[in-house]
């Protein structure tokens, strides 16, 4: 493995650890507590029977919710700066997730989401 820098290095380390080529990266920037995402599964990963999507959280702590795709009780995870949330196996097929807007003040947060090309998986 070459020793890249920055985001390339992170992708290389995650690829080696999870045994899959992380060739795609997308970022979500939450400016404050008024930004959030609705319930969703990540595309195109949700077309695969199984996948592993690591998400690195940087900045302010925020709640990350996950629940069955058909609805039901959600589970809350508080993602702090530097935390890695890994959605693996059938998570993208059977569950949806969100980062809800919130009433309490929150600072900026960036999430770095690593994925493989669907053809690579």
Q: What is the pLDDT of residues 67-84, one digit of tens each?
A: 999 999 999 999 999 999
User: What's the CATH fold of domain 26-115?
Assistant: Jelly Rolls (2.60.120)
In order of 9, 11, 80, 97, 120, the CA distances from 59 in angstroms are 20, 19, 7, 19, 31
For the segment 30-53, what is each residue's pLDDT rounded down to a tens digit? 999 999 999 999 887 777 788 899
Name, in order, each residue with C-beta under 8 angstroms of 100's C-beta and a sequence gap of 6 or more.
36, 37, 63, 65
Domain boundaries defined on the chain: 26-115
Produce one character per residue of 42-56: b if its CB has 16 or more CB atoms within 10 Å, e if not: bebbbeeeebbbbbb
Which pTM does this prediction carry? 0.87
């Amino acid at each position: 493995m070459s020793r890249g820098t920055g985001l390339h290095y992170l992708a290389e380390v995650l690829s080696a650890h999870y045994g899959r080529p992380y060739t795609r990266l997308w970022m979500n920037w939450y400016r404050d507590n008024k930004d959030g995402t609705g319930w969703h599964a990540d595309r195109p990963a949700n077309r695969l029977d199984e996948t592993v999507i690591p998400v690195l959280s940087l900045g302010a702590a925020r709640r990350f919710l996950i629940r069955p795709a058909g609805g039901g009780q959600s589970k809350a995870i508080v993602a702090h700066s530097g935390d890695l949330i890994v959605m693996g196996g059938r998570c993208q097929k059977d569950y949806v997730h969100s980062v809800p807007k919130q009433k309490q003040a929150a600072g900026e947060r960036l999430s770095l989401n690593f994925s493989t090309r669907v053809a690579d998986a």
